[in-house]
């Protein structure tokens, strides 16, 4: 072994990362990298053909994920990762399409697309990294900021009700819904694995520390302090009623897998319906006719 | 640019009685479009309806999105998924698409958008005509970029130019617009759809080299990068950020200069190949009527009347509006007394003509706000004025 190889051992995730783009832009203590690690691990375990997995991100800190993942990867516009993924999936149904983006991107500016993709049971996996604020732009209040938490555009504390995302996802029609924190590395990996193996709209929320903005502004300490909060106040309740999953400021975090059901996907429903109505005139779309 | 015979499945060969909106859909299907995403909006909805009925029968997919933001995003995704993709809209929906039209330009994504124009601004005149989105088509998204826009004046041309739009879009990897209007969209005329073997379509310039050597934005000899589709094993990246040959973001002025200059130059440098215009009697004309879309048909009456009155009138119809036929207007400006330019707006493309005429000949606008076409008499008066 050459000397430099000894000094710089290979990154164990090298297979999944664009090493020519590392170091990444995320802050020390940020949780996004942890979720990326879980994603890479889930891919490894999934045994999927990686040539057929595509990642679509929107804009924001988590929006940068697409740029680091060594798969077909698209860094799109703010809020539009899900409709982009919808087009990609429908054009090439062989693909496993993963949307990897933040709370502001997916349920703030892109909220409408989120509920409609869930309603249609579009066969995509949505990994939403929830850091409770708009971090890329400097810590503004978000649709996920807990009440009373401070943000740069909520300097007196937030008074808007935040979304309960698992409830929203389930109500809109998602067939797989889970929530974890960045502390639950193994569980996040397992959920992503399950979602990758599933057909239908899968949604995984991962609560992550934003040390530079959310934690600093709220004097919550560093990354370790936030992980300790997750450790002390998160509670695994698989199958919990999603109506009970509101998050209060530094309050209890109910995590787990809440929904895992089967339902025809958009394409399944389309093929089934059109075959029934049109008969021989219709050839099922996106399935091999060889 | 590789031309191939189109997939006959989408071609409804024969003589039909179709409105412009339906003809847009038939043109797209004949060109091999197999993905449509759209949102209902008057007066373009019939195109979406036609797609929803026809595309499942020819091996494609239709999706009605939640809004036009979603439609255009889905189109870009579908194009990178390997399909020829189209949407149709009108003013308000066109406005909503603007941000992602920029993304399509930046990612160099072939796709076609038809805009069946109505009167604006805002909700404006939902059911009545306009040509008020012409500058928006050119400049509506932020930043510097170039697009291609065609303007049909009949249902037949809605069919023909939609095929042309796909071919240009695939050749130059650029969003291409079919800028029609409510009158042409809702006008029903004979549309002849030729046999499939007579329809030539441009095949996307697929990269076939070694997988580890693929650079998404490395320019080929013709200045257009090769494309791959997701799922082919290239594991490429692309972004809306200023990017290098690899498709990786590089946030500095030097990279912006290379990247954005290319987006503009690939159209500017090929303008002569792209531009189609139709001229009549321009050789010895004292005055030339410039027009596009429905307005060119309305101008005919005025031109005939002027000729009867002994005025030497020529006509120049812009089939391609963007890029603008700058050179030709400059040449003609040296010879004519004036141009007359009616548009169903308060003055848009006329300023481009004025810029190109560069003071050598006046360009007389005949503005007309949305709602209805010109009274030919107004155009005639402008012609008379021009030769005074």
Residues B38 and B170 in one domain: yes
Residues B182 and B286 in one domain: no
Residues B143 and B281 in one domain: no
The answer to whether residues B306 and B380 touch, using CB atoms and an 8 Å cutoff, is yes
Among B291, B320, B306, which Cα is nearest to B385's?
B306
Residues B154 and B299 in one domain: no
Q: Is residue B233 part of a domain?
A: no
Which residues from chain A sit within 8 angstroms of residue B217, using beta carbons? none
Q: CA B240, CA B243: separation in Å to the nearest integer?
A: 8
CA of residue B138 relative to chain centroid, distance: 10
Q: How confident is the model at residue A57 (pLDDT cuts 50, 70, 90)?
A: very high
Q: What is the DSSP letter of A253?
A: E
Which residues from chain B sit within 8 angstroms of residue A89, using beta carbons? 77, 81
**Which of A86, A92, A113 is nearest residue B230 as measured by Cβ atoms?**
A92
Q: Is residue B49 part of a domain?
A: yes
Average of per-residue pLDDT across A199-204: 98
- Cβ neighbours of residue A6 closer than 8 Å, sequence gap 6 or more: none
What was the pLDDT predicted at A7?
66
Q: How confident is the model at residue B292 (pLDDT cuts 50, 70, 90)?
A: very high
Tokens for B102? 């920029």
What was the pLDDT predicted at A250?
97
How long, in residues, is chain B?
388
pLDDT in tens, A155-171: 999 999 999 999 999 99
Residues B193 and B77 in one domain: yes
- Cβ neighbours of residue B69 closer than 8 Å, sequence gap 6 or more: A79, A80, A83, A112, A113, B96, B97, B99, B100
Q: What percent of chain A has pLDDT over 90?
A: 94
* Residue that wins the pLDDT comparison between A47 and B141: B141
- Alpha helix (H) ranges present in chain A? 3-7, 32-46, 65-68, 81-91, 103, 111-119, 165-172, 185-197, 216-217, 223-233, 266-278
The answer to whether residues B169 and B176 touch, using CB atoms and an 8 Å cutoff, is yes
Residues B166 and B293 in one domain: no
Identify the domain containing residue B307 by its residue range: 277-387
Q: Is residue B74 part of a domain?
A: yes
Where among B203, B229, B248 does a domain terminate? B203
pLDDT in tens, B219-258: 999 999 999 999 999 999 999 999 999 999 999 999 999 9
Flag whether residue B248 sits within 8 Å of chain A, measured between CB atoms.
yes
Q: What is the DSSP letter of B38?
A: E
Q: CA A64, CA A102: separation in Å to the nearest integer?
A: 10
Q: CA B295, CA A197: separation in Å to the nearest integer?
A: 56
Q: CA A55, CA B237: separation in Å to the nearest integer?
A: 9
Q: For chain B, how many structural domains are there in total?
A: 2
Flag whether residue B76 sits within 8 Å of chain A, measured between CB atoms.
yes
pLDDT in tens, B343-380: 999 999 999 999 999 999 999 999 999 999 999 999 99
Q: Do A278 and B56 touch (CB under 8 A)?
A: yes
Average of per-residue pLDDT across B28-40: 98
The answer to whether residues B370 and B120 touch, using CB atoms and an 8 Å cutoff, is yes
Residues B169 and B300 in one domain: no
Q: How far is the CA of B99 from the CAs of A80, A180, A282, in angstroms?
A: 10, 33, 36
Residues B17 and B155 in one domain: yes
Q: What is the largest CA-CA distance in chain A?
A: 68
CATH number at residue B176: 3.40.50.970
The answer to whether residues B103 and A79 touch, using CB atoms and an 8 Å cutoff, is no
What was the pLDDT predicted at A18?
96
Q: Is residue B290 part of a domain?
A: yes
Where among B203, B219, B242 does a domain terminate? B203
Average of per-residue pLDDT across A93-107: 98
User: What is the chain B residue with the closest CA to A74?
Assistant: B238
What was the pLDDT predicted at B17?
98
Which residues from chain A sit within 8 angstroms of residue B230, using beta carbons? 54, 72, 74, 88, 92, 95
- What chain A holds in terms of domains, given with CATH numbers, is 3-281 (3.40.50.970)
Residue A1 has pLDDT above 60, yes or no: no
Flag whether residue B140 sits within 8 Å of chain A, measured between CB atoms.
no
What was the pLDDT predicted at A3?
61
What was the pLDDT predicted at A289?
54
Q: What percent of chain A has pLDDT over 70?
A: 96
Q: Do B235 and A71 touch (CB under 8 A)?
A: yes
* A187 min Cα distance to partner chain B (Å): 27
What was the pLDDT predicted at A5?
59
**pTM higher than 0.90, yes or no?**
yes
Pairs across A and B, CB distance < 8 A: 152
Q: What is the DSSP letter of B305?
A: H
Mind giving me the DSSP string for B145-211? ---EEE--SSHHHHHHHHHHHHHHHHHHTSEEEEEEEHHHHT-EEEEEEPPGGG-EEEEP-B--S-G
User: What is the chain B residue with the closest CA to A285?
Assistant: B59
- Alpha helix (H) ranges present in chain B? 20-31, 45-54, 68-80, 91-107, 134-139, 155-172, 182-185, 253-268, 271-274, 294-308, 326-333, 349-357, 376-387
Q: How confident is the model at residue A11 (pLDDT cuts 50, 70, 90)?
A: confident
Residues B181 and B41 in one domain: yes
Which residues from chain B sit within 8 angstroms of residue A56, using beta carbons? 77
Mind giving me the DSSP string for A77-105? -TT-HHHHHHHHHHH-TTSEEEEEEEHII
Lowest-pLDDT choice from A132-146, A275-289, B47-61, B328-342: A275-289
Q: What is the DSSP letter of A257?
A: E
Q: Is residue B288 part of a domain?
A: yes
* B216 min Cα distance to partner chain A (Å): 11
Phi first, then psi: what are they for B262, rounded to 5°? -65, -45
Q: CA A43, CA A54: separation in Å to the nearest integer?
A: 11
User: What is the chain A residue with the closest CA to B36?
Assistant: A87
Residue A2 has pLDDT above 80, yes or no: no
pLDDT in tens, B95-127: 999 999 999 999 999 999 999 999 999 999 999
Average pLDDT, chain A: 96
Q: Is residue B134 part of a domain?
A: yes
Residues B154 and B12 in one domain: yes
The answer to whether residues B43 and B186 touch, using CB atoms and an 8 Å cutoff, is yes
Q: Sign of the CA dihedral A243, A245, A251, A256?
A: positive
Tokens for B387? 């030769």
Q: Is residue B237 part of a domain?
A: no
Where among B203, B222, B250 does a domain terminate? B203
Q: Is residue B87 part of a domain?
A: yes
**Which of B56, B59, B237 is nearest residue A67 as measured by Cβ atoms?**
B237
- Cβ neighbours of residue B304 closer than 8 Å, sequence gap 6 or more: none
Q: What is the DSSP letter of B247?
A: S
Average pLDDT, chain B: 97
CA of residue B250 relative to chain centroid, distance: 31
Q: CA A242, CA A12: separation in Å to the nearest integer?
A: 36
CATH number at residue B375: 3.40.50.920
Q: How many CB atoms lie within 10 A of CB A45?
A: 14
Q: CA B156, CA B338: separation in Å to the nearest integer?
A: 31
Residues B179 and B72 in one domain: yes
Residue A8 has pLDDT above 80, yes or no: no
Which residues from chain A sit within 8 angstroms of residue B83, using beta carbons? 91-92
Q: How confident is the model at residue A181 (pLDDT cuts 50, 70, 90)?
A: very high
Residues B19 and B162 in one domain: yes
């Amino acid at each position: 072994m050459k000397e430099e190889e000894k000094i710089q051992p290979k990154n164990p995730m090298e297979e999944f990362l664009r090493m020519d783009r590392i170091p990444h832009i995320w802050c020390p203590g940020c949780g996004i990298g942890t979720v990326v690690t879980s994603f890479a691990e889930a891919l490894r375990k999934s045994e999927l053909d990686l040539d057929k997995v595509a990642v679509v991100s929107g804009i924001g800190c988590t929006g940068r994920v697409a740029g680091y993942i060594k798969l077909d990867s698209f860094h799109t516009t703010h809020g539009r990762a899900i409709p982009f993924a919808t087009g990609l999936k429908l054009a090439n149904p062989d693909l496993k399409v993963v949307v990897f983006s933040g709370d502001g991107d997916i349920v703030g500016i892109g909220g409408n697309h989120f509920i409609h993709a869930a309603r249609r049971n579009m066969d995509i996996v949505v990994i939403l990294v929830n850091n409770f604020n708009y971090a890329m732009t400097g810590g503004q209040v978000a649709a996920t900021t807990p009440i009373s938490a401070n943000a740069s555009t909520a300097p007196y504390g937030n008074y808007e009700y935040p979304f309960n995302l698992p409830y929203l996802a389930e109500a809109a029609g998602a067939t797989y819904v889970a929530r974890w924190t960045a502390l639950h590395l193994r569980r996040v990996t397992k959920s992503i694995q399950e979602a990758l193996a599933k057909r239908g709209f899968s949604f995984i929320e991962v609560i992550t520390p934003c040390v530079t903005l959310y934690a600093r502004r709220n004097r919550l300490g560093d990354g370790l302090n936030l992980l300790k909060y997750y450790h002390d106040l998160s509670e695994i309740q698989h199958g919990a009623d999603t109506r009970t999953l509101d998050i209060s400021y530094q309050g209890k975090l109910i995590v787990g897998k809440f929904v895992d059901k089967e339902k025809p996907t958009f394409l399944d429903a389309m093929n089934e319906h059109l075959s029934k109505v049109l008969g021989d005139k219709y050839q099922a779309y996106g399935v091999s006719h060889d | 640019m590789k031309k191939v015979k189109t997939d006959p499945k989408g071609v409804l060969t024969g003589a039909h009685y179709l409105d412009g909106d339906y003809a847009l859909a038939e043109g797209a299907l004949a060109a091999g479009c197999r993905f449509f995403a759209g949102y209902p909006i008057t007066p373009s909805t019939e195109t979406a309806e036609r797609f929803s009925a026809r595309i499942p029968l020819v091996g494609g997919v239709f999706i009605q999105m939640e809004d036009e933001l979603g439609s255009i995003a889905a189109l870009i995704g579908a194009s990178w998924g390997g399909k020829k993709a189209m949407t149709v809209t009108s003013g308000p929906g066109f406005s909503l698409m603007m941000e992602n039209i920029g993304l399509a330009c930046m990612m160099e994504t072939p796709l076609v958008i038809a805009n069946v124009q109505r009167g604006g601004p805002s909700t404006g005149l939902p059911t009545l005509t306009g040509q008020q989105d012409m500058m928006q088509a050119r400049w509506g998204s932020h930043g510097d970029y170039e697009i291609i826009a065609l303007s049909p004046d009949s249902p037949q041309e809605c069919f023909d130019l939609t095929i042309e739009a796909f071919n240009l879009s695939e050749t130059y990897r650029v969003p291409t617009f079919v800028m029609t209007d409510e009158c042409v969209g809702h006008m029903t005329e004979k549309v002849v759809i030729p046999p499939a073997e007579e329809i030539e379509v441009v095949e996307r310039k697929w990269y076939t080299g070694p997988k580890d050597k693929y650079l998404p934005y490395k320019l080929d000899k013709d200045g257009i990068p090769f494309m791959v589709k997701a799922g082919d094993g290239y594991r490429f990246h692309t972004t809306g950020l200023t990017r290098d040959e690899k498709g990786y973001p590089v946030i500095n002025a030097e990279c912006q200069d290379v990247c954005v200059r290319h987006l503009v130059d690939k159209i500017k440098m090929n303008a002569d190949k792209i531009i189609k215009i139709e001229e009549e009697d321009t050789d010895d004309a004292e005055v030339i009527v410039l027009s596009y879309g429905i307005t060119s048909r309305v101008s005919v009456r005025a031109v005939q009347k002027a000729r009867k009155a002994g005025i030497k009138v020529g006509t120049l119809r812009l089939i391609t509006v963007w890029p603008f036929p700058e050179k030709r207007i400059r040449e003609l400006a040296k010879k004519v007394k004036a141009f007359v330019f009616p548009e169903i707006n308060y003055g848009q493309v006329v300023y481009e003509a004025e810029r190109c005429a560069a003071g050598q000949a006046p360009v007389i606008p005949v503005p007309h706000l949305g709602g209805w076409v010109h009274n030919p008499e107004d155009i005639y008066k402008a012609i008379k004025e021009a030769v005074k």
